[in-house]
């Protein structure tokens, strides 16, 4: 059995305030966090990026759109019940 008591303590915690796009450097604070693609990639055995080497980066949606436009094979898009975004911009 564990015996506990409630105490008041002060400690430092890390709080996310903004996200910067690794591609363009755009910084977004709080509102809009959801418009980033956050990638964490670990190279596997014989990876050209290094075995077990982890890379983390964030791409803001406008940069993601440009990168996807360069794909030889376009990504699959599922709009669900929505009509989809305006692709004219």
Binding site for Zn ion (CB under 5 A): 21, 23-24, 26, 60, 63
Q: What span, in angstroms and rounded, lies between the C-alpha atoms of 34 and 48?
A: 30
**Closer to Zn ion at the Cβ: 42 or 66?**
66
**Closer to Zn ion at the Cβ: 26 or 35?**
26
Structure token digits, residue 42: 């670990």
**Closer to Zn ion at the Cβ: 19 or 63?**
63
Q: Angle 82-86-89 (CA atoms, 0-180°, nearest 5)?
A: 160
Minimum gap (Å) between residue 46 Cβ and Zn ion: 31
7: helix, strand or coil: coil
């Amino acid at each position: 059995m564990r015996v506990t008591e409630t105490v008041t303590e002060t400690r430092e915690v890390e709080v996310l305030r903004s996200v910067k796009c690794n591609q363009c450097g755009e910084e977004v604070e709080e509102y809009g966090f959801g418009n980033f693609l956050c990638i964490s990639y670990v190279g596997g055995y014989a990876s050209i990026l290094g075995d077990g080497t982890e890379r983390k980066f964030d791409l803001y949606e406008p940069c993601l759109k440009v990168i996807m436009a360069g794909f030889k094979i376009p990504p699959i898009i599922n709009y669900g019940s929505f009509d989809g975004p305006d692709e004219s911009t």
